Structure 1
């Protein structure tokens, strides 16, 4: 009976065998389902716009209250986007125009609208941003746009 190879040698042979078997497997063709990103089965092309509203006033005045923000949404946002929206409370920070890091309570407002109606610098959204900065003495309202597939 021949002597058994040392355990380390057996492990090396196993590793090489496994690597060679993997190398022999054919690559997935470019048109195969495995090579494409998953697609949503439902939904239509929409744009998701998130607006970020700070509540601290750069001039040191009183912070924007929940009641003031809700009134702003009712008076300025809802008439322009009556189909619906989402508001979430948050806490954030940013570096202001003077280089100072400001920490403040904030709101994130999310809008979904059909991609076919999306326009660069949409006047309805830009009006919301301008109205908030003017009404509450803010430096800016951040805006993020992203593509989405939405199904209601």
Structure 2
């Protein structure tokens, strides 16, 4: 059985109405150009977030403090010394450090819970290559110093304004 044929103008209106309905506008108001109540009450257009600030990278490093082979955990004093002597000289403009509780599965399959630190540093995108070298140096030295498997890393693009 053949489907009924819809004329081209009617098909266009139906398609437009379906799209408008799918994207949240009431079909009756959207199809006829009538502003919705929310659109009429909306404040004047504000600049998009992309227009504020400058393009940056926000890098988050996750430092665990648990050690292997029965060695005691990395102390707060030891971590603070590493922060002062290794991290701060590479990011003297600023950083954020938060203490937390972390959990991860090691290479032997054991789940480890430990006190951890999340370090956040932000830098302009144009400095990403140079900062990457600093970040990888920090990660490798931390692992080597305390014989650890890894320091977690997450990089996020951001628009930043100070």
TM bin (shorter chain): 0.7 to 0.9
Alignment partner, residue 21 of structure 1: 28
Q: 1:23 to 1:120 in 2, by over 3 A?
A: same
Query: Matched residue of 2:101: which SS?
Result: strand
Alignment of 1:8-47 (within 5 A): 21=28, 24-25=31-32, 38-47=48-57
- Residue deviations 1:9-47 (CA, integer Å, cap 9, x gap): xxxxxxxxxx76367456xxxxxxxxxxx4255211110
Relative contact order higher in (CA < 8 Å, ≥ 6 apart)? 1
- Cα separation, 2, equivalents of 1:141 and 1:121: 16
| Cα contact 2:101–2:113 (8 A) shared by 1 | yes
Extract unaligned runs of 5+ from structure 1. 1-18, 27-37
| Cα contact 1:55–1:106 (8 A) shared by 2 | yes
Instruction: Give the counterpart of 2:75 among 36, 41, 65.
Output: 65
- Residue deviations 1:78-111 (CA, integer Å, cap 9, x gap): 1111111110001010110001111111000000
Alignment partner, residue 134 of structure 1: 144
| Cα contact 2:49–2:159 (8 A) shared by 1 | no
TM-score (norm 1): 0.74
Alignment partner, residue 111 of structure 2: 101
Query: Matched residue of 2:137: which SS?
Result: helix
Q: 1:134 to 1:23 in 2, by over 3 A?
A: same
- Residue deviations 1:114-141 (CA, integer Å, cap 9, x gap): 1111128821110000110011111100
Query: Matched residue of 1:128: which SS?
Result: helix
Q: RMSD across aligned C-alpha pairs, in angstroms?
A: 2.1
Q: How many positions carry a matched residue from both structures?
A: 124
Extract unaligned runs of 5+ from structure 2. 1-25, 34-47
Structure whose residues are more often helix by fraction: 2
Instruction: Give the counterpart of 2:157 among 119, 125, 147.
Output: 147
- Cα separation, 2, equivalents of 1:151 and 1:93: 33
Q: 1:61 to 1:20 in 2, by over 3 A?
A: closer
Instruction: Give the counterpart of 1:112 among 101, 122, 132.
Output: 122
